[in-house]
Each structure stands twice: as structure tokens, then as C-alpha cells.
Structure 1
């Protein structure tokens, strides 16, 4: 693992302050991460369920954390593709959490998957696959 939980948590708070709107880092390992989000009225769509963009944001930031665990603090690693399947209705006003796992990390790309859960539920409410572009390393002279 290239970074510690504390280093990544500090990085996300300082360099990605809007990230708190998408979730809080709970756990971090080599190539995986877990984040959670307390769901409030601002996260709900008509019909009383968590909106798709909220789940997508949580999934995206969680995979970003999993990727950075492998490559270090690389701010310009960016999402190039995100596919998500919404599997079942999350519970309103119940926290959601995500677990991301890197499937492959190369020199220029990282591919991973994320499962999103409604707290207390055994079955995922969404599943996402993503590709991240990793910027080339700068060579020192």
C-alpha cells in the first residue's frame, strides 16, 4: 500500500473538500476502500429513495480512494468511464456505504468495481465498474 488511511483521509479533506458531500472514508487497504454517507433529505429523489447521482458520487470517490492506495497521492487520476447498475431501492434516511476493489492497476489506467449497500442490508443496492486514467509520472532531471 502506497499511503496510510490517515494520509488519504487528510488528502481528501484538504484537496477534495467537496468530497465530504459524497462520503467519509471508513477503511482502506491495498487496492480497496470503504466509504459511507449519511443520507438526508438532500440525497433523496421523489418516491423516497436515494438518488442515482448520490450513489454514483459515493461509488466514484470510493474507487478513487482504492486507486490512490495503490498509486499514492496522485490528484490528477481521473474517471474516464463509469457504468452503474441500480439493483434495488435503498432505504431512505439510512446511511449507504460502498466497498471498492481495484481489478487492475497499470501505468496509465486503473479498473475497479464498487458495490453500494444500504446500511443493515445484505444485498447491494448498486454495482459499478469504472476506469481511471493515471497521469504519466514526471521524470526528474
Structure 2
């Protein structure tokens, strides 16, 4: 699967259609777009922590969801109404206050549904802090 949008094009689309993504400062960044995959990072701040200094589950969930959406956009183009229909996450290790990286890989890209796998890590891609899978609904083209 060849991407049809670059990291810069996806970022511009997200800024225009989802400005709330950067409401409290820019923390999300697309670092790579490749055939069937995308890598995104999140630079967490104090507001992303839960008691005990762990990056919160909702922060990890947001990173997985935004990365899944971005990899779908990268391969179908700027379709604002593609939406999450399911997202399941397994929390594997305690993430601390340092950058998170998420690799989103398309497992299936159909006309109406996309299935994506997301791996979230900090320093070592072999030591995941979370693993998720998502299904996105792709709207039918307007006629």
C-alpha cells in the first residue's frame, strides 16, 4: 500500500480540520510515512501524568487513535469523516515522562473499513508500553 499523503500534508490537514489536537501545545508529531505504516511521536507534559508519575492511559489511547487515523489518511487521502469504530488497548509497561513513539501499521485497508495495529514504546521498539488494534470506518465517496 503506497501512501497518497506525506507527513506534511497530513499535519496540515489535521491543523485545519482538527485544531483542537494542538489546543494545549504541540505534542503530536508525524515522524515517518511509509508503505502501509506511519510513525508518530508524542512529547508528554506534566498534564499527561497520573499520580505516581506514570503517563496516563487516556494519553496513550489518544496517541494510538491519532496515529491510526493518520495512517488511514496517509493511504486514502484527506477524509475527515473516517471514524474509529473500535479501539482495543493492552497496557504492557509503565511509561514515564519522556517521549512516546507509536508505529501504526495497516493490517487491512478496504473500501469501507481499515484495520490498524499500533505499537507504542519509549526507548526500545522491542519493549512496548502499549499495544492496540483499531478499526476505522471509511465513508463512501460522495457522488
TM-score above 0.5? yes
In the TM superposition, 1:38-53 aligns within 5 A as 38-53=43-58
* Whole-angstrom CA distance in 1 between matches of 2:18 and 2:132: 22
User: When the two structures are aligned, how many residues end up with a matched partner?
Assistant: 137
Indicate conservation of the 8 Å contact 1:30/1:66, yes or no. Answer: no
* Whole-angstrom CA distance in 2 between matches of 1:62 and 1:133: 15
What TM-score do you get using the length of structure 1 for normalisation? 0.91
Cα RMSD after superposing both structures:
1.3
* Whole-angstrom CA distance in 2 between matches of 1:136 and 1:36: 30
Indicate conservation of the 8 Å contact 2:27/2:43, yes or no. Answer: no
* Whole-angstrom CA distance in 1 between matches of 2:27 and 2:137: 20
4+ runs of 1 displaced by more than 6 Å?
none
* Whole-angstrom CA distance in 2 between matches of 1:94 and 1:16: 25
Matched residue of 1:130: which SS?
Answer: strand
Name the residue aligned to 1:31: 36
- Of 94, 99, 104 in structure 1, the residue corresponding to residue 108 of structure 2 is 104
Which structure 1 residue ranges, 5 or more long, are not aligned? none
